[in-house]
Amino acid sequence: MNEHFDIYLVGVGGQGILTIADIITLAAVDKGIDVNFFPTKGMAQRGGFVKAQLRLGREPGSYSPSISPGGSDLIVSMELSETLKAVRYGKPGADYVILGQRWQPTAVMLGKAPYPDVDQVIGEIRGAGGVVHYLDPGNMPGEMRGNLYTLGAICAHSKLSEFFSKEDLEKIIADRWKAVAQSNIETFRAGYSAPTRTA
């Protein structure tokens, strides 16, 4: 098992990508693992680019919040096109857990600007030596929250599971939103067992 583990998360405002980082942070605190969670919202609002960097298991004070290019063990993306902004941060062999939702900018919607397709994105990741775990958003029940669904898939398909068990994360999710604990756990489990495309 690695001593430390770095995660780079990308998406757009309104998807709840920061909540994934939040849950992992709380799980780390719960287990006494050193953690640094660095969200970058910039001027982001709903629909704007959002990223977060999580660094687990490092000695306090001996590192910085930013992950170097080529340094992440795990890339998480909830927006297909935005995935491309994370690729330069993945180590060769890094896991990429992607929920392929498309939040199309206006120019794309009007047919005035291009938007990458799934094969192009997967091609770029493989070019960087990454291992793809692509979740087709069409498989996700509409009422479910994409972020907890993605977190389930992260737990199933990445080495984050060497730090936290499925139960560790479920406990944090249940404590965080007590009133909707059951449905949130179901979403997490649906993501955990969701089919993934790897090539």
Q: Which residues, 6 to 45, sit near other proteins by CB under 8 A?
A: 12, 25-26, 29, 34-40, 42-45
80 near 137, Cβ under 8 Å? no
Among the listed residues 114, 162, 175, 197, the single contact to other proteins using CB under 8 A:
114
Determine the Cα–Cα distance for residues 187 and 46; give it in Å rounded to an integer.
23
Rule CB under 8 A: is residue 73 a binding residue for other proteins?
no
CB of 193 to other proteins, least distance (A): 27
What is the smallest separation between the CB atom of 35 and other proteins, expressed in angstroms? 6
Q: Does 84 contact other proteins by CB under 8 A?
A: yes
Q: Within 13 Å of residue 79, how many CA atoms lie on the same side as its CB?
A: 24
Query: According to the binding rule CB under 8 A, does residue 121 interact with other proteins?
Result: yes
What separation in angstroms does the CA of 28 have from each of 6, 11, 96, 102, 165?
13, 22, 21, 30, 11
Q: Which of 4, 51, 16 is nearest to 173 (CA)?
A: 16
Q: Using alpha carbons, select from 197, 195, 98 the residue that is nearest to residue 154.
A: 98
Q: CA nearest 21: which of 3, 2, 6?
A: 6
Please identify which residue in 16, 57, 118, 124 interacts with other proteins, judged by CB under 8 A. 124
CA atoms of 85 and 9, how far apart (whole Å): 10
CB 146 within 8 A of CB 16: yes
Q: CB-wise, 163 or 192, nearer to other proteins?
A: 163
3 binds other proteins (CB under 8 A): no
Smaller CB separation from other proteins, 73 or 82: 82
**Binding region for other proteins (CB under 8 A) out of 76-84, 134-142, 155-163, 165-173:** 76-84
Told to check if 120 binds other proteins by CB under 8 A, we report yes
Residues forming contacts to other proteins in the complex (CB under 8 A) are 12, 25-26, 29, 34-40, 42-49, 60-71, 81-82, 84-85, 87-88, 104-110, 113-116, 120-121, 124, 127-128
